[in-house]
Amino acid sequence: MRRIYAIARKEFIHIIRDPRTMIAVLIMPLLQLFLFSYAVSFDVKDLPTALLDQDHTAISRQYVDALKQSNYFTVTHNLTASSEIDGIFDRNQARVVVVIGPGFGDSVAAGRAGAVQVLIDGSEPNSAQLGQAYANGLSRIFGAKVAISQAEASGMDPAQAGGLTAKTRIWYNPEGKSASYLVPGLIVLLLTVMTVQQTANTLVSEKEQGTYEQLVVSPIHRIELMIGKVMPWAVMAALNIITISAIGLLVFRIPFRGSVALFALASFLFVLCVLGLGLLISARSSSTEVANQLAMMISFLPAFMLSGFVFPLASIPPALQGLSYLFPARYMTVVARTIFLKGGGWDVLWPQIAALAVYAVVVITLSALLYRERS
């Protein structure tokens, strides 16, 4: 116990006395949080839009006005022929082209569905997806409005009236605010990167400094050494979870709908997992460079690509989906989003939490076994 405390205390001194570590641990996560949330926002606003109105009726102009007022689209070009569309996309002058076909006004007036073609530049998938959703939503609202006024004028049952063809979409996140789904995922990503990176370095840097041999000649059990080394990082990780969550709630106004206790439990297990991963790297790396590279590979990439943080896991190739089970970020991302946004509890999250618990036990045991006392 005394030896564990001595190691932990020494590690704290290392952290506190090294400005680079302090920045990496306390400032970087916050910086990244703001960067991701603002700069890499997935929110789409003011999509540059080109319009091709082939109908030229009062109703088509009404639709165009609704589009313009929506904030989501900024009409930058008014086209006169469909042959211009390719050029607009090629020169990146617009991401969306809305084509109102001839007869649109007549169809709506006649109580039938008016066809609007929405062409979207798919080269930026996020804007494409969201732009499509906005256009559909817009059509629906507009369609309903048109249909209702038509029905009133002709004394028909509104439900029977025609409208614009529209798809409905269900939002967990009604405003489509990306911070809400970014921040819970970011907690997982930032924590993985910081913890794995730092713990990966702890044992290796002792080896490089030559202090490792002094630890080896001391009567200290490897488990004591590992616990002592990991303790300060567990504290740092907890600090990070709290600050990032607090900023998420207070600055980005994301909701927290679930149980704090459940989130704390899952976070604790998750931190054990990433600490274990770091130790695993540290036990087997020959130098800090190797450790850093391994840490990057094992922490950042999977936590970014294979956690569902950016790409929904269902939409990635099956082989990568299988691979994603090997990294704890996948489970924790689900837990964090479910607790923050949906308020889900133990009944829905137990498989993920169980997975984290098993993962933690396996990875810590493995790193203890792989860590050799003597070379």
Partner 1 sequence: MSTASQTGEIALDVRGLRRTFKQVVAVDNVTITVPRGEVFGLVGPDGAGKSTLIRMMATVLAPTGGDALVFGKSVRTESSKVKPRIGYMSQAFSLYRDLTVRENLEFFAELRGVPRKDMASRSAKLLEFSGLTEFAKRQAQFLSGGMKQKLALAATLISEPDLLFLDEPTTGVDPVSRREFWRIISGLHRQGITVFVATPYMDEAERCDEIAFMTQGRIILRDTPAGMKARVPGRVIEVDVSDYRAAMPIARSMPFASSVEVSGEHLRILVTRADDGVEADIRDALEAAGLRVDRIRPVATDLEMAFATLIPTATLPDRTIDDDILAVAE
Give me the amino acid identity at 80: T
Stretch of residues binding partner 1 (CB under 8 A), selected from 79-87, 205-213, 270-278, 341-349: 205-213
User: Counting contacts by CB under 8 A, is residue 110 touching partner 1?
Assistant: no
Stretch of residues binding partner 1 (CB under 8 A), selected from 10-18, 51-59, 107-115, 297-305: 10-18
Q: Could you tell me the strand order of the sheet in which 73-79 lies?
A: 73-79, 47-53, 96-100, 116-120
Stretch of residues binding partner 1 (CB under 8 A), selected from 128-136, 207-215, 273-281, 362-370: 207-215
Short-list 294, 269, 283, CA closest to 361:
269
**Minimum gap (Å) between residue 287 Cβ and partner 1:** 9
**Euclidean distance between CA atoms 15 and 6, whole angstroms:** 14
User: Counting contacts by CB under 8 A, is residue 17 touching partner 1?
Assistant: yes
Nearer to partner 1, 75 or 220 (CB): 220
**Euclidean distance between CA atoms 55 and 64, whole angstroms:** 11
**Euclidean distance between CA atoms 200 and 281, whole angstroms:** 5
**Minimum gap (Å) between residue 244 Cβ and partner 1:** 28
User: Counting contacts by CB under 8 A, is residue 375 touching partner 1?
Assistant: yes
**Minimum gap (Å) between residue 320 Cβ and partner 1:** 36
User: Counting contacts by CB under 8 A, is residue 25 touching partner 1?
Assistant: no
User: Counting contacts by CB under 8 A, is residue 301 touching partner 1?
Assistant: no
**Euclidean distance between CA atoms 375 and 373, whole angstroms:** 7
Task: Please return the burial class of 70, using the count of CB atoms within 10 Å of its CB with bins 0-12, 13-18 and 19+.
Answer: middle
User: Counting contacts by CB under 8 A, is residue 209 touching partner 1?
Assistant: yes
Contact 181, 341 (CB under 8 A): yes
User: Burial code of 40-69, b = ≥16 C-beta within 10 A, e = fewer?
Assistant: eebbbeebbbbbbbbbebebbeebbebbee
Mask: binding to partner 1, 261-300, rule CB under 8 A, as x and -?
-------------------------x--------------
Stretch of residues binding partner 1 (CB under 8 A), selected from 65-73, 194-202, 209-217, 277-285: 209-217
What are the tokens at 105? 């006004």
Nearer to partner 1, 212 or 304 (CB): 212
Tell me the H-state helices in 251-299: 260-284, 288-295
Among 66, 115, 216, 290, binds partner 1 (CB under 8 A): 216
User: Counting contacts by CB under 8 A, is residue 5 touching partner 1?
Assistant: yes
Nearer to partner 1, 71 or 218 (CB): 218
Short-list 339, 318, 321, 340, CA closest to 330:
321
Among 122, 211, 320, 322, binds partner 1 (CB under 8 A): 211
User: Counting contacts by CB under 8 A, is residue 215 touching partner 1?
Assistant: yes
Tell me the H-state helices in the chain: 2-17, 19-22, 28-34, 58-69, 85-90, 104-109, 125-154, 178-209, 211-216, 222-250, 260-284, 288-295, 301-305, 318-324, 329-337, 346-370
Nearer to partner 1, 153 or 217 (CB): 217
Q: In the complex, which residues of this chain contact partner 1 (CB under 8 A)?
A: 2-3, 5-7, 9-10, 13-14, 17-18, 209-211, 213-220, 286, 374-375
